[in-house]
C-alpha cells in the first residue's frame, strides 16, 4: 500500500495513521474538526493536504452512527480504490451503507480489538494494535484487492487478522466488550455519591474493574445504540446471576445453618464460574494466559523512577512481561508490580534488592 486517507483523526484514526506513516505509507488526514487534523499531523501521522487522486485505501475512523455516510462520501468522490471502517459494531452500519446505495464490493467492515478509555489524537500511538486481534468481515462479494489491502493494513499495524461474519462479531463484542463497559460503569457509579471515607480506601481491585468506566459516554451511546439487542441479552443473563448472588448473600445472613450452607454454595458457584471464565481470557499477544509471578517494588513518585527500575531489570537480564502500578493513597510513593516468568522472579528480586530497591513480600 502506497497511500491512505484516514477520515476521523481521533484515537483510532490517528493510531492507524501513525502506524502506516511510520512504515512508509503516504497518509492524508481529514476530520470534521480541523484542530484534530492539525494535532494528528503535528504528531507525524500524515499530511492535512487532500490527496491529488484516489488513494489505495480509505480508513473511516468516525463514531459508528457516522460510518455509512462517510463511506458513501468516499465512494461518491472516488477518493480511494477501497474503503474500510474501524467501528466497534459491524452489522448495522453495513446494512445502512447498503441502504445508502454504497458499493459493498469495495467497502469492508473491520474492527481492531484495541483501544483506550481516552479519545482524541493525543491519546494515539503507533503501537496500539500490536499483537491485538483485528476483525475483518468480508463477504463472498468483497473485492479481493480490497481484502488484500485491508490485510496489508492490519499487518502494517502489527495486529492479528480474524475473519468473522458481521452479526457474529456483534454478538461476540456484546459479550467481551460492550457488556464489560456497562458493568464497569455500573460498579463505578456506586462511588458517585459514596462517602469519602470509603472512596479513600480504593485499592487495585476497584481500579482494575473501573478503568473503562472513564470512557467517553458520547462514544459509548453511539456504540450501544448500534448493538442494543445482543448487549441486552448478555446483560439480562448477568442480571439473573446478580439476583441469585443477592439471594445467596441474604441466605448467608440467616440464623438457619442449612440456609447459610446453601448461601455459601451459591457464592462459591459464582466465584468458581468466574475463575473458569477468567482462565479463558487470552494473554499478551493473544497467547494462552501465562502464569507470571509478580515482583512488587516500592517506588517514589519522582520522575525517572520507572525508567531506572526497567533499566535495572534489563541489567539483570530479566524480561518484564507485564507491569502494573499501585499508587499508595495520600503518599508520594507506590508499588510497581513487575510480572515475569516464574524462574526469573527470584533473580529479579535479588538483583533489585542489591541495587537498593525495597521489594514487597507477596
Ligand atoms: N476507543 C476505542 O477504544 C475504540 C477501539 C476500537 C474501535 N473504535 C471505533 O473507532 C471509531 C473511532 O473511535 P475513537 O475512539 O477514535 O473516537 P475519537 O472520538 O477519538 O475520534 C473520532 C473522530 O471522528 C471525528 N468525526 C466524527 N464524525 C465525523 C464525520 N462525520 N466526518 C469526519 N470526522 C468525524 C471526530 O471529530 C473525532 O476526531 C469508532 O467507530 C469506534 O467505535 C474505538
Ligand atoms: O481497553 C480499552 O480501554 C477499550 O476500551 C478497548 C475496547 C475493548 O472493549 O476491548 C473497547 C471498544 C472497542 O471497540 C475495542 C476495544
Q: Report whether pLDDT(330) > 70.
A: no
Q: How many CB atoms lie within 10 A of CB 362?
A: 10
Q: Report whether pLDDT(287) > 80.
A: no
CA separation for the pair 324, 321 (Å, rounded): 11
Pick from 281, 180, 163: nearest CA to 231 = 180
Q: Report whether pLDDT(306) > 90.
A: no
Q: Report whether pLDDT(7) > 70.
A: yes
360: confidence class by pLDDT, cuts 50, 70, 90:
confident
Q: Report whether pLDDT(331) > 70.
A: no
Atom of ligand 2 lying closest to residue 88 CA: 14
Atom of ligand 2 lying closest to residue 178 CA: 9
Q: Report whether pLDDT(284) > 70.
A: no
The answer to whether the CB of 77 falls within 8 A of the CB of 102 is no
pLDDT confidence of residue 138: 95
In terms of CATH architecture, what is 3-164? 3-Layer(aba) Sandwich (3.40)
For the chain, what percent of residues have pLDDT higher than 90?
A: 84
pLDDT confidence of residue 95: 97
CA separation for the pair 302, 11 (Å, rounded): 28
Pick from 55, 59, 49: nearest CA to 78 = 55
Q: Report whether pLDDT(44) > 70.
A: yes
Better pLDDT: 325 or 48: 48
- 139-189 pLDDT tens trace: 999 999 999 999 999 999 999 999 999 999 999 999 999 999 999 999 999
Please give the helix or strand (H or E) that residue 297 lies within, else none. Answer: strand 293-300
CB pairs under 8 A, 24+ apart, for 36-41? 36/9, 36/10, 36/120, 36/121, 37/9, 39/9, 39/14, 39/120, 39/121, 39/122, 40/6, 40/9, 40/13, 40/14, 40/121, 40/124
Q: How far is the CA of 81 from the centre of ligand 1 (A)?
A: 22
Query: The whole model's pTM is what?
Result: 0.86
Q: Report whether pLDDT(362) > 90.
A: no
**Which of the 8 DSSP states describes residue 131?**
T
Q: What does residue 216 show for φ and ψ, rounded to 5 degrees?
A: -75, 115
Query: Span 32-61, mean pLDDT?
Result: 98
CB of 212 within 6 A of ligand 2: the answer is yes
For the chain, what percent of residues have pLDDT higher than 70?
A: 96
The answer to whether the CB of 78 falls within 8 A of the CB of 54 is yes
The answer to whether the CB of 348 falls within 8 A of the CB of 318 is yes
pLDDT confidence of residue 292: 83
CA separation for the pair 304, 302 (Å, rounded): 6
The answer to whether the CB of 84 falls within 8 A of the CB of 16 is no
Q: Report whether pLDDT(329) > 70.
A: no
Q: How far is the CA of 128 from the centre of ligand 1 (A)?
A: 15
CB of 92 within 6 A of ligand 1: the answer is no
Helix (H) and strand (E) counts in the chain = 14, 11
Q: Report whether pLDDT(21) > 70.
A: yes
Give bridge partners of residue 107 from the DSSP assignment. Answer: 83
Query: Span 328-333, mean pLDDT?
Result: 62
CB of 109 within 6 A of ligand 1: the answer is no
CB of 128 within 6 A of ligand 2: the answer is no
Domain 171-279 CATH (choose: 3.40.50.300, 3.40.50.2300, 1.10.3660.10, 3.40.50.1360): 1.10.3660.10
Comma-separated ranges of CATH 3.30.70.260 domains in the chain: 293-360
Q: Which region among 41-55, 148-162, 258-272, 312-326 has the lowest average model confidence (pLDDT)? A: 312-326
pLDDT confidence of residue 286: 63
End-to-end CA separation in angstroms for the chain = 50
ipTM reported for the complex surpasses 0.95: yes
Please give the helix or strand (H or E) that residue 136 lies within, else none. Answer: strand 133-136
* CATH hierarchy code of domain 293-360: 3.30.70.260
219: confidence class by pLDDT, cuts 50, 70, 90:
very high
Q: Report whether pLDDT(335) > 90.
A: no
349: confidence class by pLDDT, cuts 50, 70, 90:
very high
Q: How far is the CA of 239 from the centre of ligand 1 (A)?
A: 30
Comma-separated ranges of CATH 3.40.50.720 domains in the chain: 3-164
Comma-separated ranges of CATH 1.10.3660.10 domains in the chain: 171-279
Query: Span 31-55, mean pLDDT?
Result: 97
- 109-135 pLDDT tens trace: 999 999 998 999 999 999 999 999 999
CB pairs under 8 A, 24+ apart, for 41-45? 43/14, 43/18, 43/121, 43/122, 43/124, 44/18, 45/6, 45/9, 45/14, 45/17, 45/18, 45/21, 45/121, 45/124
Q: Report whether pLDDT(235) > 70.
A: yes
Amino acid at each position: 500500500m502506497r497511500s491512505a486517507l484516514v477520515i476521523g483523526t481521533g484515537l483510532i484514526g490517528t493510531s492507524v495513521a501513525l502506524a502506516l506513516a511510520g512504515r512508509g505509507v503516504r497518509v492524508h488526514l481529514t476530520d470534521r474538526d480541523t484542530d484534530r487534523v492539525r494535532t494528528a499531523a503535528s504528531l507525524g501521522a500524515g499530511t492535512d493536504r487532500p490527496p491529488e487522486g484516489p488513494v489505495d485505501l480509505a480508513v473511516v475512523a468516525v463514531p459508528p452512527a457516522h460510518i455509512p455516510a462517510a463511506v458513501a462520501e468516499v465512494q461518491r468522490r472516488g477518493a480511494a480504490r477501497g474503503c474500510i471502517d474501524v467501528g466497534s459494531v459491524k452489522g448495522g452500519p453495513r446494512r445502512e451503507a447498503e441502504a445508502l446505495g454504497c458499493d459493498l464490493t469495495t467497502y469492508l467492515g473491520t474492527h481492531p480489538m484495541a483501544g483506550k478509555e481516552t479519545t482524541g489524537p493525543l491519546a494515539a500511538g503507533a503501537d496500539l494494535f500490536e499483537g491485538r486481534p483485528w476483525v475483518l468481515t468480508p463477504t463472498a462479494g468483497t473485492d479481493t484487492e480490497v481484502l488484500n489491502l485491508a490485510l496489508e493494513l492490519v499487518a502494517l499495524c502489527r495486529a492479528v487478522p480474524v475473519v468473522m461474519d458481521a452479526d457474529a462479531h456483534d454478538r461476540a463484542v456484546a459479550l467481551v466488550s460492550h457488556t464489560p463497559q456497562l458493568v464497569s460503569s455500573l460498579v463505578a457509579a456506586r462511588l458517585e455519591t459514596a462517602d469519602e471515607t470509603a472512596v479513600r480506601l480504593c485499592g487495585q481491585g476497584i481500579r482494575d474493574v473501573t478503568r473503562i468506566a472513564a470512557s467517553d459516554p458520547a462514544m459509548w451511546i453511539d456504540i450501544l445504540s448500534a448493538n442494543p439487542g445482543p448487549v441486552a441479552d448478555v446483560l439480562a443473563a448477568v442480571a439473573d446471576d446478580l439476583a441469585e448472588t443477592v439471594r445467596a448473600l441474604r441466605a448467608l445472613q440467616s440464623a438457619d445453618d442449612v440456609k447459610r450452607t446453601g448461601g455459601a454454595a451459591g457464592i462459591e458457584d459464582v466465584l468458581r464460574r468466574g475463575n473458569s471464565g477468567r482462565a479463558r481470557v487470552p494473554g499478551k499477544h493473544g497467547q494462552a494466559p501465562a502464569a507470571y509471578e509478580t515482583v512488587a517494588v516500592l517506588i517514589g513518585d519522582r520522575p525517572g523512577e520507572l525508567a531506572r527500575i526497567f533499566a535495572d531489570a534489563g541489567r539483570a537480564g530479566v524480561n518484564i512481561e507485564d507491569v502494573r502500578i499501585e499508587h499508595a493513597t495520600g503518599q508520594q510513593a507506590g508499588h510497581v508490580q513487575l510480572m515475569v516468568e516464574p524462574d526469573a522472579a527470584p533473580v529479579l528480586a535479588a538483583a533489585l534488592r542489591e541495587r537498593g530497591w525495597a521489594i514487597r513480600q507477596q
